[in-house]
Structure 1
Amino acid sequence: MAFLTALIVAVGLAVLVPLASTASAAQCTTAWNSSTVYTGGLSASYNGHNWSAKWWTQNETPGTAAVWADQGVCGSTGGSGGTTGGTGSCDYPAWVAGRAYVTGDVVKYTDGNAYRAEHDNPGYDPVISTWYWEPYTCGGTPTTPPGQGGFPVSESQFNQMFPSRNSFYSYSGLTAALSAYPGFANTGSDTVKRQEAAAFLANVNHETGGLVYIVEQNTANYPHYCDASQSYGCPAGQAAYYGRGPIQLSWNFNYKAAGDALGIDLLHNPNLVQNDSSVAWKTGLWYWNTQSGPGTMTPHNAMVNGAGFGETIRSINGSIECNGGNPAQVQSRIDAYQRFVQILGVPAGNNLGC
């Protein structure tokens, strides 16, 4: 008890020492550590400021918790007023792979930019996980997320998912196609948005061999995709409606329906799906967002309503793969999905199989 009293007295004296009040910034105290216990009056530096604990605290980030009192800018100001302004010195600690970070931590990455932890994480790469990290300016304002058009997958993440992809399947083609279905990967929580994007790309990965194949490889199947009983027939030719694009759109009736929905005459011009990247991506999004296939719901609804990744497989290939039809193919899709959600920094969720 005597030791505790002495500690309190010492701490009480410490807060009587004034911080520097000159125009230059004060010296930064020891950097804040999430595992350290701070009692009232103890100081720590964080994000270019000194902070003083008002009472006992542990793992409460300075600047985001009421327990911390801001004591002002500390350290080098870089000639521009410390942390105020977007071009001043961002004197944040360097990011370290594998080191645990908590919400609010700001680090300087190897690209020279600062990133703020949106969620606690065990040291994920700031430019890989947009769920756990967001770009950060010296003034404390998050910058625009890396994905285009609000898409929760950045181009660098897309390239990481598909390191051997055919250049036809471009990121710009995908983001250009998003306007056709604005609810895709843009419905629900940030986690759900990322899960849906990962689910779509995992199925696309399986259908195309990692975004390598633009057209169906088994040419013997080509003449089978013409349902001549349709009133419009097969005007592009008996063997013209083979699988194309990220979802391998096939059959004359699917080309007709997708074209009608997208305002593109695909019935007469099916080759647009293998010649125009944006059109190809749009056909994949058309199926994903509007077609139940052999399932009971669209893949989009399966992801945003919590039915799980397994139901997206059922909506694409039904009993051909599900219910024991081809468990190896199902597992291939699941494996890709699990890789992709890890890249995006979100859990896979339940009901992965079908």
Structure 2
Amino acid sequence: MKLTTPRLRKRISKRDIRAAVALGVALGAVGAAFVVAEPPRMSLAGDTASGSITGLAGKCIDVADGNSASGTTVQLYDCNGTQAQQWTNPGDGTLRAFGKCLDVRGGSTADAADVQLWDCNGGTAQQWVITEAKDIVNPAADKCLDVRAFNSANRTPLQIWPCQGAANEKWNVFEGGSEAPATNPPPADNGNDGDQGESPSGFVVSEAQFNEMFPNRNPLYNYDGLKAALNAYPGFATSGDDTVKKQEAAAFLANIGHETSGLMYAVEQNTANYSAYCDASQAYGCPAGQDAYHGRGPIQLSWNYNYKAAGDALGLDLLNNPGLVETDAAVAWKTGLWYWNTQTGPGTMTGHDAMVNSAGFGQTIRTMNGALECDGKNPAQVQSRIDSYQRFTQILGVAPGESLSC
């Protein structure tokens, strides 16, 4: 997301980078420098060096969800020693994980261009130089690897940005596969917590229960992504007694399951509607394109103004990067939680307020799609939501409560 105040920028020139390469600058923190041609090694023995790369808040450069597919987002995440955080420098100026290269998406040299994992192709978008100042620079763009919006939260995407010497552009490379500092231990929760009770993360729905609810879900909607999103709205499924917590979780999951046919769809299926979601009357317009603001994610977030509102609330530039909602699991879940916890839709209260204040599941239906379904307009759709909610409360071992219909 673009900051509202100017960012002081101290640019590193291409001439400075070439001089550092020519002199073979020895870097105390990282062992050596990545260079475009005939680079010095990063380790004293062998042809490659490997290990984790830590940056802002001591977190690691991470391949999202451990997905080795080309196009996978590269992000900031708690260091956990997994293969998704093991990077190698084979001596050709690239940084690699899962045998693929750290790559500027689309070969862009623009400010805020995302980085991704991509098949190594020898292109300039995959060339990186580590400077003595601990910047990781893409020489073609003359820009630094940067944590978007100075956000240290897990799953914050990485991008390129003019080098300015800020902490969100400083990186430490650990040689020989060494792990991150002890101040960043791996999360205690491995998600495998059995069939009953809270998960170790404190969420009232265990991974096994989640899998039972959505056996055919799209891979985007993974349990780890949901847990990572919970910190955006800490009151969700944590307010009230154990029954209320579980009822709220069941109500949210029942509604978003209905919106996505059991979490099967990451994007709206009717492509003919895509161009309809750009409200050009908004001052900020539709910078990602006329067709870019169709339904995505568990809530099927739609319209340019909703992408902007959700992005502003979450500290993400979704107006310019709406595709994050269908490629980053935590971002997808956060958009659903944003609507549930802050928006009343056609109703009179948020879904969260409806459940914690005992208004009943029926009011959450009104909030989600009451204008088209409630007051007898589409009883079959209402009953479908109710059926899912009752099934989910049964899985969680609680009564569904009263006032189920709208």
TM-score per shorter chain, which class? 0.5 to 0.7
Q: Provide closer, same or farther for how the CA distance between residues 257 and 172 of structure 1 changes in structure 2, counting only shifts above 3 A.
A: same
Shift of 1:166: 1.3
Alignment counterpart, residue 253 of structure 1, candidates 292, 299, 305: 305
Separation of aligned partners in 1, 2:239 and 2:369: 24
CA distance in 2, matches of 1:313, 1:228: 29
- Alignment deviations for residues 24-65 of structure 1 (CA, whole Å, 9 cap, x no partner): xxxxxxxxxxxxxxxxxxxxxxxxxxxxxxxxxxxxxxxxxx
Match in the other structure for 2:279 = 227
Residue 150 of structure 1 corresponds to 202
The residue that corresponds to 1:332 in the other structure is 384
Partners of 2:273 and 2:364 in 1: CA distance: 24
Q: Does 1:165 align with 2:217?
A: yes
Contact 1:227 1:233 in 2 (8 A): yes
SS at match of 2:201: helix
User: How far is 1:127 from its partner?
Assistant: 4.9
Query: Partners in 2 of 1:319 and 1:197 — Cα distance?
Result: 23
Q: Is the 8 A contact 1:148 1:175 kept in 2?
A: no
1:275 aligns with 2:327: yes
**After superposition, what is the alpha-carbon deviation per residue over 1:6-29, rounded to whole angstroms, capped at 9, x for unaligned?**
xxxxxxxxxxxxxxxxxxxxxxxx
Distance between the aligned counterparts of 1:309 and 1:217, measured in 2? 27
Q: Which amino acid aligns with 2:328?
A: D
Aligned to 1:74: none
CA positional deviation for 1:284: 0.3
Match of 2:365 in 1: 313
Point out 4+ residue stretches in structure 1 off by more than 2 angstroms. 126-130
* AA of the residue aligned to 1:194: K
Among candidates 174, 177, 180, match of residue 226 of structure 2: 174
Question: 1:148 and 1:220 mapped to 2: Cα distance?
Answer: 43
Give SS of 1:227's match: coil
Does the residue aligned with 2:317 lie in a helix, a strand or coil? Answer: coil
**1:54-203 matches, cutoff 5 A:** 127-130=194-197, 145=198, 147-203=199-255
The one of the two structures with greater contact order (alpha-carbon pairs below 8 A, sep at least 6) is 2
- The unaligned stretches of length 5 or more in structure 2 are 1-192
Number of the residue aligned with 1:296 = 348
Q: Give 1:129 deviation, angstroms.
A: 4.0
Q: Which whole-Å deviations, capped at 9, do the CAs of 1:98-151 have from their partners, x for residues lacking one? A: xxxxxxxxxxxxxxxxxxxxxxxxxxxx95443xxxxxxxxxxxxxx4x14211
- Matched residue, 1:236: 288
**Is the 1:128–1:344 Cα contact (8 Å) retained in structure 2?**
no
Amino acid corresponding to residue 278 of structure 1 in structure 2 = A
- Per-residue CA deviation, residues 254-292 of structure 1 (Å, 9 max, x unaligned), is 000000000000000000000000000000000000000
**Offset from partner CA, 1:269-325 (integer Å, 9 cap, x none):** 000000000000000000000000110000000000000111111111122010111
For residues 311 and 224 of structure 1, the distance between their equivalents in structure 2, rounded to whole angstroms, comes to 28
Number of the residue aligned with 1:346: 398
Give distance in 1, aligned partners of 2:297 and 2:200.
21
How many Å apart are 1:176 and its aligned residue? 0.3
Identity of aligned residues (%): 72
TM-score, normalised via structure 1 length: 0.59
| SS of structure 2 residue aligned to 1:164 | coil
Moved more, 173-182 or 319-328: 319-328
Amino acid at match of 1:156: A
Which amino acid is 1:254 matched to? N
Give the secondary structure class of the aligned counterpart of 1:294. coil
Question: Which entry has the higher C-alpha Rg, 1 or 2?
Answer: 1
TM normalised by structure 2 equals 0.52
| Matched residue SS, 1:341 | helix
Amino acid at match of 1:285: L
| In 1, Cα distance between equivalents of 2:376 and 2:281 | 32
Q: Per-residue deviation at 1:224? A: 1.0
Q: How far off its partner does 1:168 sit?
A: 1.4
Report the counterpart of residue 8 of structure 2 in structure 1: none
Unaligned runs of 5+ in 1: 1-125, 131-144
One-letter identity of the residue aligned with 2:390: Q
SS of structure 2 residue aligned to 1:149: coil
Q: Which amino acid aligns with 2:230?
A: L
Maintained 8 Å contact 1:208/1:246: yes
Paired residues of 2:194 and 2:207 also in contact (CA < 8 A): no
For residues 361 and 196 of structure 2, the distance between their equivalents in structure 1, rounded to whole angstroms, comes to 21
Asked if structure 2 preserves the Cα contact closer than 8 Å seen for 1:128 and 1:343, the reply is no
